[in-house]
Amino acid sequence: MTAMRKIHDFRGFSNENDKTIFNLEKDYGAHHYDRINLVVRHAKGCWLTDEKGNKYLDCLAAYSAANSGHHHPFITNAVLDALIGNYASVLSNVVFTDPLGIFLVKVAKFAPQMAPRFGNHGNKALPKNGGVESVETAIKTMRYFGFKHKGIEDGHQEIIVFDQNFHGRTISIVSFSSSKKYKEGFGPLTPGFVSVEFGNLEQVKKAINKNTCGILVEPMQGEGGMKIPPEGFLKGLRNLADENDLLLVCDEIQVGMGRTGKKFCFEHENIVPDGVILGKALSGGLIPLSVFITNAKIMDMVFSKGSEGSTFGGYPLACVAGTAALKVFEEEKLAEQSEQKGRILKKRIEAIAKKSVHVKEVRGKGLFIGIEVKDGNAMDFCRKLLKLGVIVNDSHGHTIRISPPLIINDEEMDFMVKQLEKVLVD
């Protein structure tokens, strides 16, 4: 009863008006996000609700973190049961826990055999919190592989990355970002990265040298403008990695787990990378959880006692959420839902585009769709959509991002399409 009273007392804080909440964040928080003037007080399924009871269709899904919908009952109940059962608190990593062991089995087998050219040893996974931490794990893996396996002098390893990439905002990762605002003033930046044009295999070939140890790629760029690479690009990267003994790692934090209509986005070209990074939807959007998955042989080559660690990475509560989210993904066939619904939704948006003087291009796969506008003012359309009860955001100023929870139903898609038509067709 005490816990319940505390919950209700916290919710009672919602009696504060929006202006008060805005000022609290302004006065006591960093100003590192461009916010819209909306205070969300309830989230369920595909809908967000403000303090006045106004509902908004969430067509961002927290950048794919809420693929299974907000507060999916199975995942939420698994977390609550773990808390009530007193077995989900953070523990020292010197002991074993049931949730971690079970989660590692599930997530390692969730992916196909990584790096099959190194043998069918099965996969191993290394869990972390936010996705960027697992990107760092992947970078460590590629660099150590270059040092240990290829004999590259330590400190000279190079990783090929791509223009307009987005892998997070730690110092090392913003060091190879194309965005000036992500890295200006944060130097000295981390060396060892060579950025080439996304989709350009010739530039990748030219960038490979004796110190190259890996290629890090988003199979489809989200932050970069919902960009799909040319057909054959991922296969070309796979071939170049094989020919030059490099590790090919796919960052699927945003585009994996069904978002583009496949379990993994790399499956659209029938390739298997040497490593894959997952996050966001991996815990149903309830708890920070990410993993780097690779061939067991590579994982054991790279990581030994003391070479890696995380207090909360793979802690019991996160693993309970992760195991439940993987179960929901499989049983509710979220990838299949995304493929079917995305195909229909894209056609409907393309029909709107034909009638609109504002739309330059519609592109995407599954429920990961971008609407590029001609005059680079995508946020203006996003603000208009908010007034009509649809939450979206822009990408690089020119593209409206459409990425609702994968459980979105026909009625909700109808609502979205009607509002899109209102703002895009004069």
**In angstroms, what is the C-alpha Rg of the chain?**
22
Where b means 16+ CB within 10 Å and e means fewer, 168-191 reads beeebbbbbbbeeeebeeeeeeee
The reply to whether 162 belongs to the active site is no
DSSP strand pairing (247-251 vs 212-217): parallel
Active-site entry in 128, 193, 227, 251:
251
Cα–Cα distance between 28 and 40 in angstroms, integer?
Answer: 19
Name beta bridge partners: 247. Answer: 214
What does the alpha-carbon distance between residue 187 and residue 285 come to, in Å, rounded to a whole number?
A: 32
**Angle 227-233-239 (CA atoms, 0-180°, nearest 5)?**
150
The token duo for 368 is 């990961």
Spatial separation of the C-alpha atoms in residues 30 and 232, rounded to whole Å: 43
Could you say which of 280, 341, 346, 365 is catalytic? 280
Q: Which of 149, 166, 146 is nearest to 216 (CA)?
A: 166
> Per this entry, what is the length of the chain?
426
Asked about 27 being catalytic, the answer comes back as no
The catalytic residue among 110, 166, 233, 303 is 166
Distance from C-alpha of 361 to C-alpha of 353, rounded to nearest angstrom = 8
User: Cβ(82)–Cβ(88) under 8 Å?
Assistant: yes
The position carrying tokens 């660690």 is: 309
Are the beta carbons of 298 and 292 closer than 8 angstroms? Answer: no
Task: Indicate if 34 belongs to the active site.
Answer: no
Amino acid at 263: K
Contact between 291 and 264 under an 8 Å Cβ cutoff? The reply is no
Residues with catalytic function: 166, 251, 280
